[in-house]
Chain A
Amino acid sequence: AQSVTQLDSHVSVSEGTPVLLRCNYSSSYSPSLFWYVQHPNKGLQLLLKYTSAATLVKGINGFEAEFKKSETSFHLTKPSAHMSDAAEYFCVVSPTGTASKLTFGTGTRLQVTL
């Protein structure tokens, strides 16, 4: 069994300040972990993925995430927020080596203010 918990349903930051979106996971297997972003009325876009290689993963648009097995966490960060980062972010887990059946978190809505 696997699950994902996104600890904040809504995060608000000022433009130019750091972003932290928190995610904890539970998995019986060594998981693959992902962050997807969804802009309003758009499809989901893959930001980054962890598949048991380097624990610090760099993604698109300046985002990165660190896999911490001891804390079962996969938090998403960005040093400096931009207005275009305002969107819904989903943390996702998938059991490695099996057919895709992603388990999505409930999402964190990121608001960026001037």
Chain B
Amino acid sequence: NAGVMQNPRHLVRRRGQEARLRCSPMKGHSHVYWYRQLPEEGLKFMVYLQKENIIDESGMPKERFSAEFPKEGPSILRIQQVVRGDSAAYFCASSPITGANTGELFFGEGSRLTVL
């Protein structure tokens, strides 16, 4: 029973490039969440998606960041024109419908973005 799969695990980009992070939720989970962890900090909520819908993007920066969860395929977090401050670990989590109400999420191992 595969857990939440994220790739790439490590990504290095130069300033101004684009970063794409992918997340496949656990089998049977229809809800996906993205969290960002800056060095020495806790995780901060970014966005909550269901298939083809963004439910809550209140934690997403207004510019350069976007997320999608298409009908087919993984969820993608896209960061355009990356800056050094985007260097962080980006965690994806998924839940079944019940988890959306209780807060119990299943996390992937994260994608660590380094911007040079």
Chain A residues with CB under 8 Å of chain B are 32, 34, 36, 41-46, 49, 51, 90, 92, 94-107
Contacts and interface: CB of A to CB of B under 8 A. Distances in A.
Interface of B: 4, 31, 33, 35, 41-45, 48, 55-56, 58-59, 91, 95, 99-110, 112
B43 A100 contact: no
B19 to A, nearest CB: 19
Contacts of A102: 35, 43, 45, 103, 105
Given A102-B45, A104-B43, A43 B100 contact: no
Nearest to B103: A94
Given A90-B43, A105-B42, A100 B109 contact: no
Contacts of A49: 102-104
Contacts of A103: 45
B109 A43 contact: yes
A99 B108 contact: no
